[in-house]
Structures are given as structure tokens and as C-alpha cells.
Amino acid sequence: MLDLTSNKAGQVKIEPHAFNGLENLRILFLANNSLLYNNLPKELFIPLKSLVQLNLKFNTLPGNIAIGRIMTPLLNLESLQIDISNQSGYLFDRQISSLHKLRKLVSGYCSILMLDKFSFAYLQQLEYLDLSSCSISKFRLCAFCKLRRLEFLSLNFHLRSKFGGIGNVLKDMKSTSIISLKIRHLLCVVTKFPGDVFVGLYNTSIQLIEITDSLRVGGGESTFYKLPPSLQHLDLSNDTLMKLSLQMPYLTSLNVRYNSLGAFLSDNIYMTSSQTDLKIIDLSWNSIYHLMFSIFHGHPQLEQIDLSHNNLVDIPFDMSHLINLRLLNISYNSISHFNDSTIHTITDLFKNTELKIDLTKNALNCGCHTVNFLRWMLEYTDRFERFENYTCKFDTKDYILFSDFKQTVEHIDKECSKYTLIIALVSAGIIATIFVLCCGLIYRYRWTLRYMYYMTRSKYYRYKPVDVDEIYTYNAFVSYSDNERDFIINECIPNLEEAFNMRLCLHQRDFLPGQDITVNMTNAIHDSKRIVCVITRAFLESYFCMFEFNMARMEGTYSRDGQNVLLLVFYDRIQPKELPLMMLELVQQQSYIEYPHDAAGNVLFWEKMKEVLI
């Protein structure tokens, strides 16, 4: 190899026999020497019979079309890097066609504005064509159609028009052996994406496509979403894409960074095929704030995910199936911590894979609500890329580097333990207060609650006679203690039922056997016009007697619009201080009568009872 790059060779005259004796030279660099191609001696390259690579880039334009006259001796030349001037029609003269082994052509300085069917008429054997240094503005149909062996093509567009130019290039690819296609600065509008781009390449053997920097997508709907089956690498970075839906079962690498896919990907997925061989996906710089849970389903081979420089606040997508994942780059987002579900999923992946995560430049939070996340990070520090550069923000707005992360977590643990104790004590106090309050309310309205319970229960379980002609089954329900049984049998029954044809409900006689006693009581009260309580000291001491008294009070309040259905008959002489508060209130309302215990008074007593109960 002989490297004469940047030696100002153009400032001196190059002798015709300058390369004599270099018959075995294979590589020659003459780049950046201000050479004028037309002034080079015709005999200059005659000795270089073994030359396979020649670099003449970045010399002085113009002068490439006549270069063939001095290159005809280079019969073994395979690679040529050369400046190309703005010429119409043929880029090189016919003499260059003698270079039958020339496979690679790379442009240096380039002023080509248009390519047509004549541009490469004498270079049809090319396999590698790099014109990325050219700013081409017009492509005519069949500019590349005769390059049957062409496998690599790199173009730099400056098209400010409709799709025609790039469309012509893609149509030409059907006639080539294209494997790699790189196109930059495509300023024309692609009306129907992705159909307009990929339909012409579908039946080719292409493996790599890079269409980057300012692809303009129009508003038309495409009906073609299939990528070429042979395609493995697709780069659509910096193309202002707002939607992306592709069938990509065989694609292994996808780069769509520097686009505007955030809004679309929040409710959609980019893949229309059920499964893909994708191993690398770059979604960075897309203003992504949310991703669908299933966005990476059907990606069994996925190894790298790049979601850096977005607006994510958590990891909303499912990762549990990504058993081949090696790198998750979520740097430069707004993530403060991972939730417990995400931690569990990633922990399982840590145990079964070599996964590493990059959380650089996220808004990680150091607080009590994130302490579990911080402990987890401390356990797996080796799984976080550039861990020592992470920063953590306290609730006080202070920041700390993770270089002292262990001490930080221990400090937060200690502080949070104090808060946990305080919260536990306050919570216990609140619960105790609520419990006491509830107990007080239940005690205050205990009889109301019991009455409602038994009435609801009796609604479904009470005994109902087949024929009921009266509103109330009984004139009165008589509540008494067993000590007054003789009074009921010898006085009440003869003087009320037999004398006045009344119907009394007596628990010893009328309660249904086998029925719960409390249900019998509430049913008897509900089915009686009045409730007569024979008040004695034994009555006041009896649980069931007081139960009947309170149920009768609730009956009047809740079932009979506040009517007083209770009639208190004081059989014993009882001092007011011996009475319960609720009973004393009824006595003060004069809703009672005293039994006189003498023959004359008894007659008047039963007359008054008749008036009240009929």
C-alpha cells in the first residue's frame, strides 16, 4: 500500500513514470492533493498492473469524464474512490468500460444534480455504489436498471418535489441484486406510507434499508404493510413519522428514533404480524409517555430495547416473556421508581437472563414510598448500567449521587421506620376512635337496630294465617313476668276476653312452638293493636319483659307513624327512681294506669281498659 494523502501533489508536476517499479502495488491513496484529473499524464498508471484499490477523492473539480483515458491500464482495479463533476449524460467516458473488474465506486467531491439511464452506461458491472456525498435533485427512470449486479447503493437526496424521484429509484431496484439501500435527506412527500416505499422492494433480496433524515409522510392511507421477506435491518430514524404499522415477521433490527410516534404508540402497536424475529428495537426520542401492555408480545428473540429520551414515568408494558432480553435502555425519562409488579417481573428476568437496565438521568425518588424499590436496586446494583452516575431526589428537593447509595438506603430505612411507627400509632388511634364511636352509636340505637332486624327476619319467616279479616289479629299483646301469671289468668282473661269479647295475645298460650322466641315476640307486637305491659319489679328485672317493652316502643316509632301503642299497667307501687329512663319518659307523658287492688276500684279499672283496647 502507498499512501500519498494530503501531500500537495497537485502543486508539483507529476512525472509520467512516477510509479515505475511498483508493479506489485495493490493499494494507492492520492486523496486530498488538489490534483486536476485532466492534467495527469496518460502513462501515469501503466506500471500499476496489480492495483486493486485507488483513492482519488477530494481533489480539484472538474475533470472526471476523461479519467478513463489514464485508467485503462488498471485492468485489475476493483475499487475506485473519485470526485465526480456535474456532467450531463455519461459520468465517465467509454474507455472506463475496460475496467472489467471494477466493482466499487465511491464519490468524493460531487456536483451531480441528475442521474439518468446514461449515467452508468459504461459501469454496468458495479456491485457497490456510494454517492452519499452528492446532492442529487432529479432521478430519471432506469438510472440504475442496467446495474444488474448492484448490491449496495447509498444516495443523498435533495428532492423538494413529489415522490417521483425516489419512486424511480425504488422501481429500478427490481432489476438489480440490491442487498443494502441507504437514502438520506429525502425531502419529497411520500403520500402512502409504507406502501409507496416497500411495494417496489418486496420481491428483491434486500437485507438492509436506511431511509433517514426528513422523510415527509402524506395523509394517504396505505393498503400495503408488508416488509420484504429478506429484510433484516430497517432504519427510519429522523423521518417525522407519526404512525407506524408494519408486517415484520423476519426483521431483526428496527430503528425509528427521532420521530413523533408517542401519541400513536400510546394506543397502538407498530407490528401487524403476530410474531417477529426482531432482536433490536430503537424507539428513543419519540415523545413516548405511555406504551400498550402488549406492545412487545410476539417478540421472542428481542435482545435490546431502547426507549431513552422519552417521557415515560413507569414501565407499562409486559416484559415477562422476554427471556432473551439483554439491555433495556430507559435513560433520560421521568421514572421515579418501579411498582411492585414491575419489580417482581424484572427480578424473575434477572434470575434467568443477563438483563441490564439503564436508568441514567431519570427522576429517581428517595423517599419512604420508594424504599422497597431502592432496597431492590441495592440488591441488584450490578444489573444497572452506569449505576454510579444515577441521582436520587429527596422530598426536600435535595439530590444525591448513587456512589454512596448503600448509606443512603440505610438512612432512608431508619427515617422511614420512625414514620412507620408514627403512622401505625396514628392509624391505631383512628381505628380505636372509630370503633368506640361505632360502639356508642350501636348502643345508642341498639333497640332500633334490633327491632329492624327482627322485623326484617319476621317478614320472611313469620307464620301467616290463610284468612285474615281484621287489620290486627289481637286487641292487645300482654307482656308480663311469670310472677303475675295468676293475675293474667284470674283477672285479665275473664274481665277482657270473656266480658268484653276481646282477643289477647299471651306468650304462654299464643306463641308458636318451635319458633324463635324473639321472632314470636316481634310478631305478637306487630299483630296487636296495643301492647300492655304489666309493670312489676319482676318485670323490670326480666330480660325478655324489657325486650318486649323496647320492641313495643320501636313499633310505635317506626311502624305506626309515631303513635303510642304502649299501655303501662303498674301492678306494683314502684318509685320513679327505680324505673329505666325510657319508661320514666312514658310515665311522665301519663301513658300509664295503676291497678287499684280493691273491689270498687277494680270495676273502674277494667272499664278504662275496655275503652283503651277496643
Q: β-strand 280-282 against 253-255: which pairing, if any?
A: parallel
How many angstroms separate the Cα of 65 from the Cα of each of 117, 184, 500?
Answer: 16, 26, 139
Given this model, what pLDDT does residue 469 score?
A: 40
Report the pLDDT value the prediction gives residue 363, as an integer from 0 to 100.
87
- Which DSSP category does 6 fall into? T
CA distance 162 to 157: 13
Give the angle subtended at the CA of 90 by the CAs of 87 and 95, to the nearest 5°: 120
Q: Which pLDDT value is given to residue 454?
A: 61
Please give the Cα distance from 520 to 385 (Å, whole number): 77
pLDDT along the chain (614 residues), means of 10: 82 82 94 83 91 90 63 93 76 86 93 86 94 85 91 82 64 92 78 77 92 69 78 92 91 96 94 94 96 96 97 95 96 94 95 95 88 91 91 80 79 73 79 86 69 60 41 92 92 91 92 88 91 94 92 83 86 89 81 85 88 85
Q: Which CATH code, of 3.40.50.300, 3.40.640.10, 3.40.50.10140, 3.40.50.720, is assigned to 474-613?
A: 3.40.50.10140
Domain parsing of the chain, residue ranges: 363-463, 474-613
Bridge partners (DSSP) of residue 153 are: 129, 181
Burial pattern 232-261, b for ≥16 Cβ within 10 A else e, equals bbbbbbbbebebbebbbbbbbbbbbbbbeb
By C-alpha distance, which of 380, 341, 349 is closest to 359? 380
Q: How many residues does the chain have?
A: 614
Q: What's residue 65's pLDDT?
A: 53
DSSP string for 379-415: HTGGGEETGGG-EEEETTS-EEEGGGHHHHHHHHHHH
Q: Which three cell numbers stand for residue 188?
A: 419529497
- The three-class DSSP label of residue 152 is strand
- pTM of the full predicted structure? 0.68
List the one residue out of 376, 293, 300 whose CA is nearest residue 338: 376
State the Cα angle at 309 between 308 and 313, rounded to 5°.
80
